[in-house]
Structure formats: C-alpha cells, structure tokens
Amino acid sequence: MKYIDGFRNHMAAKAITEDIHDLAAKLSGDNREARIMEVCGSHTMSIARYGIRQILPDNVRLISGPGCPVCVTDAAYIDAAIELAEKGIHIATFGDMLKVPGSRRTLADARGAGGNVHICYSPLDAVKLAKDNPEEEIVFLGIGFETTVPPVISIIKKALAENLKNISVLTAFKLVPPALEALAEDKDVAVNGFLLPAHVSAIIGAEAYRGFVEKHKISSVIAGFEPLDILLGIKGLLDQLVGNRVELVNQYARVVKSGGNRIALSLIREILEPADASWRGIGTIPGSGLKLREEFSKYDAAKKFKVSTEGGTPDKRCRCGEVLRGMIFPDECPLFNTECTPLFPVGPCMVSSEGSCAAYYKYSR
C-alpha cells in the first residue's frame, strides 16, 4: 500500500496538473484541443473515481473507448449462451456477464427460469465443476482482451492433461491493437492521443503498438491506473502535441516490458489463432478476435453444440455503440439514469464495473 500511495500523492497530483494546464495553454492549430481517448475500462473507472476529468483544462477532453470486454460483447453471443443454458448445458461464467442484455433476455433471466448458470471466480472453477459433474456438459464463457485470455484457455490445457471431455469454451476474445486501427480510421472518432491500457500492455508488450503509432501518427502513452499514472500519461501526450511530435511512450515501464509476457503469448499462439470479431455497437473488425485452432476444436462450444454467435438484435434505443466509440458521453444517452441503471441496465456499458455508463452513474451523476 505504501508503494501504491506514492501514486496517489495529492501534492504531486497538483504539480502535474499545473504542468498540464501550462501545456494546454500552448496548444494551437489542429491540436488546439486535445481529444484523448483512454482505451481501457479500468482507466475510465479511475478517471471518474478520482475526478480527473474535472481538474483538466477546458481544451483537454478525455473520451472513453471500447476497453471494457463485457461492454463490447455482442448480443448474439449472449443469445448463444442462453440457448445453451436452455438445452440443459451448464454455463460457467464470471458474474459481470449475468446482466449483459442479449437480443431479448439476459443470463440472469435464463438462470431465473431454471437454467444452470454458475458464477466462477476463476476459470479453474469451471474445471472443478466438470470434474464434479462428469455426466454434465460444462461451457465456460470465454470473453476478454489479451489480459484474461491466457487464464481462460488454461482450461483447455487442464482438460487435456486430465482427459476431461465434458468441458468446452464459448469464445469471444478481443484484441486491442486491431481495435485501435478501427478507431484511428473512423472519422467520427477524431482523437489525437491515446492512453493505452496497462494490463493488456503487460501481456502483449509495448512494441505491439509500434506499427500502429507509426502508421497513423497518433501520439500514444501506456499508462497505469493510479491517479498520478493517468495524469503523467496526459501530460506526456500534451507534451507531444505541443512539440508537434508523435511517439510511443511506455510510462508504465515498472510493469510493462518491451516484449510483454512471453509465457502468456506463447500459450495464446499455441491454442488460438486470429479471427474476425464482432464488437457490440461497432461492428465486425477484421483480425480483432481469437478463435481456437482446429486441433482444439473439440473444446469449441459453438462447434460442439452448433450454436451461432452472429446475428443478434440489441435494443436500438441504446447508444452504447456511440459511447464506446467516444462519440457521446454516457449522460447524453436519453436512457441514462432513467430506464438504464446498474440495477436494470438496457445496455452493457451500464453493467460492468469498467463500463463508461457505470462509471458516470457511480461518480458523475
């Protein structure tokens, strides 16, 4: 805690904030307004929790991006999970998936109707469930970015080692670098700086962004989640904009290394391969997902039980897609804090603790 407290020092925060205001006053030309997107949902929650948005100059805008894995999970994926539960298959999932809306219902609804939906605190809980219930089929809902992919696919390694045949994974993994490409090419987004995610970067490494930064000429800083981390990240981006430079900076070097976590990356390459992926509210982004390699297809729940994770129809009134692309702030959605609340969410951004709408609801109403 002493180490963490050092990144929450209010006097240091005040000094960095003053530097930010000084740099913001020097912005000019096309960069007279800094539109900075924090890609990670943990950044979004920290920014709201510590009131960072409120202490920034008027010409520095923080925009939330699609960095919440629950938020970008497509409605069709939820529909597929519900379909499996209705067939009597045991669904194992992290708790924040229960209230994510599908086309018409949620997993919580399916559970209330008698479906076997189990809350897991670790992917290994699903393995234990399979071992304890050898006559039942267990499907783990495998969602998330590069951070959570390795522990989820460890299920498959464990199943192979113990010859478990009644467990499989319904995958909806997402990759951050292809999403950055899509955001950079989206003219409606128009950001000139990215705060890159900390945990994802610890897995894939700082160099994973090099090609993106060089191609799109957008200043990017990898930042941690503590208040001083975020403020230093913002300061670093403003320094680049004022100096008319474009760089990739690893401000979170105490955790993130150049080459990432080689063991985790090796496991990902062994079990998975790139695939196109559908992002809720955004659409299909080529190469932005991961699917099981053919040699592990017997653990692919979609193939094993012949369910489709395509073609969902989310509530058209929900503007989560625009929130995830940074086009609007959560309180600009007419459903925010009226029909859509954490207790009764209409859209996924209000479900997860990392969702933009949930962050606004908790700290900025």
Structure tokens at 21: 């205001």
Residues 227 and 338 in one domain: no
CATH number (domain holding residue 178): 3.40.50.11740
What confidence score (pLDDT) does residue 6 get? 75
Average of per-residue pLDDT across 116-141: 95
**pTM here?**
0.92
Q: What is the number of structural domains in the chain?
A: 2
Average of per-residue pLDDT across 59-77: 93
Q: Convert the pLDDT of each residue in 164-209 to its tens digit.
A: 999 999 999 999 999 999 999 988 888 999 999 999 999 999 999 9
Residues 324 and 271 in one domain: no
DSSP annotation of 336: B
What confidence score (pLDDT) does residue 30 get? 77
Instruction: List, in sequence order, the alpha helices (H) in the chain.
Output: 2-5, 10-25, 41-49, 75-86, 107-112, 123-132, 149-162, 176-185, 198-204, 210-216, 227-242, 262-271, 301-304, 320-324, 356-363
Q: Which amino acid, one-letter code, is at 116?
A: N
Residues 132 and 223 in one domain: yes
Query: What domain range is 159 assigned to?
Result: 1-314
What confidence score (pLDDT) does residue 361 get? 94
Residues 177 and 325 in one domain: no
Other CB atoms within 10 A of residue 230 CB:
26
Residues 255 and 144 in one domain: yes
Structure confidence at residue 143 as a pLDDT band (50, 70, 90): very high
Residues 49 and 73 in one domain: yes
Residues 205 and 344 in one domain: no
Q: Which of 106-115, 296-305, 313-322 is the least confident region?
A: 313-322
What confidence score (pLDDT) does residue 29 get? 81
Cα–Cα–Cα angle for 117, 122, 127, rounded to 5 degrees: 70
Residue 3 confidence (pLDDT) above 70: no
Residues 117 and 140 in one domain: yes
Residue identified by tokens 């629950």 is 70
Structure confidence at residue 8 as a pLDDT band (50, 70, 90): confident
Mean pLDDT over each residue of the chain, to the nearest integer: 94
Residues 349 and 224 in one domain: no
Neighbouring C-alpha atoms within 13 Å toward the C-beta of 156: 25
Q: What percent of the chain has pLDDT over 70?
A: 99
Residues 337 and 305 in one domain: no
Residues 111 and 10 in one domain: yes
What confidence score (pLDDT) does residue 1 get? 47
Residues 143 and 50 in one domain: yes
